[in-house]
Amino acid sequence: MHRDTPLAEAATTLLKELIRNACVNDLTPDSGNEVRNADTLERFFAGTGVAVRRFEPNPTRVSIAFTIDGSDPEAEPLTLLGHTDVVPVDLPKWTHDPFAAEETDGRIYGRGATDMLYITAAMAAVTRDVALSGKKPRGTLTFVGCADEEARGGLGAGWIAEHEPDAFSWRNCLSEEGGSHLPATDGSDALVIVVGEKGAAQRRLTVHGDAGHGSTPYGREQTVGLIAEVARRVAAIETDVASDELWEGYVRAFRFDPATEQALLRGSSYESLGDLARYSHAMSHLTISPTVLRAGNAINVLPSTAHLELDIRPLPGQSQEDIDALLRDALGDLADRVTIEHLITEDATVSPTSGPLYESIVDTFSDFFPGVPVVPTIAAGGSDLRFARREGGVGYGFALHQSGQTLGNVLDLLHSHDEFVEVADVELTVKAYRALVRRFLGA
Question: Both 308 and 385 in a single domain?
Answer: no
Question: Can you give the pTM of this predicted structure?
Answer: 0.92
pLDDT, mean of residues 76-85: 98
Boundary-marking domain end, from 346, 373, 389? 346
| pLDDT tens figures, 302-328 | 999 999 999 999 999 999 999 999 999
In a domain, 146, yes or no: yes
pLDDT of 177 reads: 86
In a domain, 392, yes or no: yes
Question: Both 340 and 430 in a single domain?
Answer: no
CA distance linking residue 144 with residue 38, whole number of Å: 10
CA distance linking residue 1 with residue 83, whole number of Å: 26
To the nearest whole percent, how much of the chain has pLDDT over 90?
A: 91
Averaged pLDDT of the chain: 95
Question: In whole angstroms, how far apart are CA 13 and each of 7, 37, 111, 130?
Answer: 10, 13, 16, 18
Q: Residue 277: give its domain's CATH number.
A: 3.30.70.360
pLDDT, mean of residues 346-375: 96
Are the C-beta atoms of 358 and 385 separated by less than 8 Å? no
In a domain, 147, yes or no: yes
Are the C-beta atoms of 246 and 375 separated by less than 8 Å? no
pLDDT, mean of residues 127-156: 96
- For residue 359, pLDDT beyond 60: yes
Confidence band, pLDDT 50/70/90 cuts, at residue 413: confident
Q: Residue 130: give its domain's CATH number.
A: 3.40.630.10
Question: In whole angstroms, how far apart are CA 48 and each of 52, 120, 129, 135?
Answer: 10, 18, 9, 12
Question: Both 208 and 152 in a single domain?
Answer: no
pLDDT of 31 reads: 97
pLDDT of 157 reads: 97
Are the C-beta atoms of 112 and 18 separated by less than 8 Å? yes
Closest CA relative to residue 385, chosen from 113, 172, 178, 202: 172
Are the C-beta atoms of 239 and 288 separated by less than 8 Å? yes
pLDDT, mean of residues 124-143: 96
| pLDDT tens figures, 228-259 | 999 999 999 999 998 889 999 999 999 999 99
pLDDT of 4 reads: 59
- For residue 1, pLDDT beyond 60: no
pLDDT, mean of residues 102-130: 96
Boundary-marking domain end, from 283, 314, 346? 346
Question: Both 372 and 333 in a single domain?
Answer: no
In a domain, 379, yes or no: yes
CA distance linking residue 188 with residue 205, whole number of Å: 47
Residue 92: domain span: 6-184+349-441
In this structure, of 89-93, 291-295, 414-418, the range with the lowest mean pLDDT score is: 414-418
Confidence band, pLDDT 50/70/90 cuts, at residue 382: confident
pLDDT of 412 reads: 84
CA distance linking residue 185 with residue 272, whole number of Å: 10
Number of domains in the chain: 2
pLDDT, mean of residues 381-395: 95
Question: Both 330 and 362 in a single domain?
Answer: no
Bond before 123 cis per omega within 30 degrees: no
Question: Both 284 and 220 in a single domain?
Answer: yes
Question: Both 135 and 222 in a single domain?
Answer: no
pLDDT of 381 reads: 84
Other Cβ atoms closer than 10 A to 161? 18
Are the C-beta atoms of 204 and 341 separated by less than 8 Å? yes
Residue 438 half-sphere exposure toward CB, CA atoms < 13 A:
11
pLDDT of 5 reads: 80
CA distance linking residue 108 with residue 420, whole number of Å: 5
Question: Both 251 and 388 in a single domain?
Answer: no
In a domain, 192, yes or no: no
Question: Both 382 and 400 in a single domain?
Answer: yes
In a domain, 275, yes or no: yes
- For residue 7, pLDDT beyond 90: yes
Question: Both 127 and 271 in a single domain?
Answer: no
pLDDT of 2 reads: 44
Question: In whole angstroms, how far apart are CA 68 and each of 48, 94, 356?
Answer: 10, 40, 20
pLDDT, mean of residues 201-220: 93
| Lateral strand order in the sheet of 107-109 | 103-104, 107-109, 420-422
pLDDT, mean of residues 14-20: 98
In a domain, 36, yes or no: yes
Closest CA relative to residue 307, chosen from 345, 346, 341, 344: 341
CA distance linking residue 318 with residue 198, whole number of Å: 10
Confidence band, pLDDT 50/70/90 cuts, at residue 223: very high
Question: Both 21 and 156 in a single domain?
Answer: yes
Question: Both 248 and 271 in a single domain?
Answer: yes
Boundary-marking domain end, from 292, 313, 346? 346
CA distance linking residue 173 with residue 349, whole number of Å: 14
In a domain, 394, yes or no: yes
